[in-house]
Amino acid sequence: MNYIVLDLEWNQCPYGKEYGKKALPFEIIEIGAVKLDEDRNIVDEFRRVIKPKEYKKIHYKTQKVIHLTQEQLKNGVGFPQAMEEFFAWCSPQDTFCTWGISDLTELQRNMDYFKVKNVFPKPLYYYDIQELMAVDLDERDKRRTLESAVEYYRIKKEREFHGAAGDAFYTAKILQALHWEKVRIYYTFNCYRNPQNKEEEITAIYPDGSKFVSREFATKERAMKDRSLLTMQCFQCGRSLRNKVKWFASQQKVYESIYKCPKHGLMLCKIRFKSLPNGNYFAVRSIETADDAAVQAVLDRKEQIKIRRRRRNGQLRRRSVGKRV
């Protein structure tokens, strides 16, 4: 098994999103990757510049950061050929690592668009090195830029930033700098191909919480009545959790609640809905231990929403009364 650190550069429609292809908001123009062995030694590198097919002019935002010239792009290879060479160089079964969460999604979207067979395993587990760094430094909600991470670890700046090859190289260097035994349990999964049925639903258990990805539902309301989504177990002991604060919508696609394990105490539970192109939804549910402040924050949010709703209903009532008079 190898680790494959992957970084992509992409372009978008130069005339604005509304003129672009809906199925291809971002067209990949460069693939950079670094191969590390099981002991995280760098053993090989891969780079391909891709000749764009849909967006041939570089968007001004892309132009600002990227180092590729129109001439280099013109001499690039087609996306299907680049992918063929990529999977001759590495295996889809290798452990993929990226900086942030977008690259594997955009890669698969481009594969679909250009009719390259998706050979990745399902579910596609991977490491988000940006997240692992936050875990390693005990700053869970913080996300550093690649350049500031390179500076933090005092990695020599011997390559250019904002090129796929350079960024993949730096991400590999950061991967080497992490306390691997501490962070390796924090794998994540890419949901570009979301679970289609009960068998494909995903459960992941971490030292400080758990995650569950559901199958598709026609509506959020239907999902919020689903027993398998709302039946929860403690990630530490497996006991059934008991509901303490009823689920409420804290945002349009986010629901929150508090449950309790008889042994491990209060847990924060959150469901985030993701909408799909077919109009359906799937849910990502997370459970984590809660301290008093976190519990209070949930209760405050719930109260705020209740007050807002009451105020809104009151206004409606006043308005209809006014009409009658």
Choose the binding region for Zn ion from 114-122, 175-183, 229-237, 270-278 (rule: CB under 5 A).
Answer: 229-237
Q: Whole-number minimum distance, CB 201 to Zn ion, in Å?
A: 21
- CB closer to Zn ion out of 23 and 237: 237
Find, among 76, 80, 88, the residue nearest to 112 by Cα. 80
Distance from C-alpha of 145 to C-alpha of 98, rounded to nearest angstrom: 13
Our finding on whether 234 is near Zn ion (CB under 5 A) is yes
Q: Closer to Zn ion at the Cβ: 99 or 259?
A: 259
Q: In terms of CB distance, is 5 or 261 closer to Zn ion?
A: 261
- Give the CA-trace dihedral at 75, 80, 83, 89, to 10 degrees: -80
At residue 226, φ and ψ (nearest 5 deg) are -80, 130
129/179 Cα distance (integer angstroms): 12
How does DSSP classify residue 24? B
Question: According to the binding rule CB under 5 A, does residue 237 interact with Zn ion?
Answer: yes
Is 289 near Zn ion (CB under 5 A)? no
Residue 264 Cβ vs Zn ion, minimum distance, rounded to whole Å: 4
261 belongs to the binding site for Zn ion (CB under 5 A):
yes
CA nearest to 96, candidates 8, 26, 197? 8
Q: Taking a C-beta distance cutoff of 8 angstroms, is the pair 107, 101 a contact?
A: no
| Range in contact with Zn ion (rule: CB under 5 A) among 39-47, 124-132, 172-180, 239-247 | 239-247
Minimum distance from residue 297 beta carbon to Zn ion (Å) = 22
Nearest approach in angstroms of CB 240 to Zn ion is: 9
Please report, as residue ranges, which positions from 44 to 73 form the binding site for Zn ion (by CB under 5 A). none
List residues near Zn ion by CB under 5 A. 234, 236-237, 239, 261, 263-264
